[in-house]
Amino acid sequence: MRGTTVLPGTPCLAPRADGVPLHRLEVAGPGDPPFAVGSFDAVGPLSRSARPHRHTFYEIAHVTAGSGAHVVDLARRPLAPPQLVVLRPGQVHHWEQDRRLDGTLVLFTEDFLVDHPGDRDLLLRLAAHPWLRPGAGEDERIGRLMADLVREYRQRAPAYDSVLRSLLHVLVVRASRLAGDPGPGAPAEGRPAAVAEAFGRLIARREAVTWTVRECAERLGVTPGYLTQAVRAATGRSPGRLLIEARTQRAQRLLAHTELSVRQVAARTGFSDPAYFSRFFRRETGHSPGAFRKHHSRVHLSLEGGPGRS
């Protein structure tokens, strides 16, 4: 993936299509790995941004102090440290009414997972339910692991990038244990089917909201029946229901974070008839598009032109 990391001072651009600022990961210099770790203060003011934004990178936040709330894809969760938060690229999030928010952030692009490619699937599953609550003993272990990551990152001893990858792998596996995920290498009967995981990655793509189950199955090289069986076994829901939820979430994002008209939002989520879109949206959310926007709108000016790390 090119263009996911930039040198310090490079503007943080917000694509016009969504109106949601897109934060890219800064690296210290040419040749440095696409990775950063540090406290909220060390990462910078955008690490606590109250403006909805998304990243080109993964973020794991070990929140050790603070009050307020964290909002991810319009789902609001009150802060109750200690917490571990896992975000994938593209998720819209912000910190709301935070007070004394503190902890450690680990930021990295997919390129950094080269030694442990299986961690990508783990991270995607964790990001679907991003808030984790470690017990006292596990929180202490996570804290020590975060301290080791910070120390390696600052000291930059020989082969420090390999050490960072190994420590990150341990962090991802421990997070998956907190979530009850069997982790990489688990027996097939103990983890979601590979086709279901591939389907989950597929529908996370923006253009997928207009696809049918048959079209998804064709892209995955399986029959619609096999796709339905695999997804039901892994999630308890049908691929059609998951596509509807992805479509609804896309519409919610556009209504909450842009000034697009309802007609334009309908078109971008695959509806040629705005009236039919409105009926669909009310059925799925209990609100009309206009009422939802009035209650959830968080339209902000772009951060274009300002440097940012988170």
Q: What is the pLDDT of residues 260-290, one digit of tens each?
A: 999 999 999 999 999 999 999 999 999 999 9
Peptide bond preceding 82 in cis form (omega within 30 of 0): yes
Residue 200: CB partners within 8 Å, gap ≥ 6? Answer: 124, 125, 128, 242
Q: What is the pLDDT of residues 60-100, one digit of tens each?
A: 999 999 999 999 988 888 998 999 999 998 889 999 987 88
- Please state whether the predicted TM-score (pTM) of the whole model is above 0.75: no
Cα 76–Cα 78–Cα 83 angle in degrees, nearest 5: 110
The rounded distance, in Å, linking the Cα atoms of 25 and 269 is 29
The rounded Cα 94 to chain-centroid distance in angstroms is 12
Report phi then psi at 10, rounded to 5.
Answer: -70, 130
pLDDT, greater one: 194 or 252: 252
Tokens at 285, concatenated: 């959310």
Residue 247: CB partners within 8 Å, gap ≥ 6? Answer: 209, 210, 269, 270
Q: Please report the domains of the chain, with CATH numbers, ordered by start residue.
A: 5-178 (2.60.120.280), 192-296 (1.10.10.60)
Q: Has residue 310 got a pLDDT over 50?
A: no
Residue 221: CB partners within 8 Å, gap ≥ 6? Answer: none
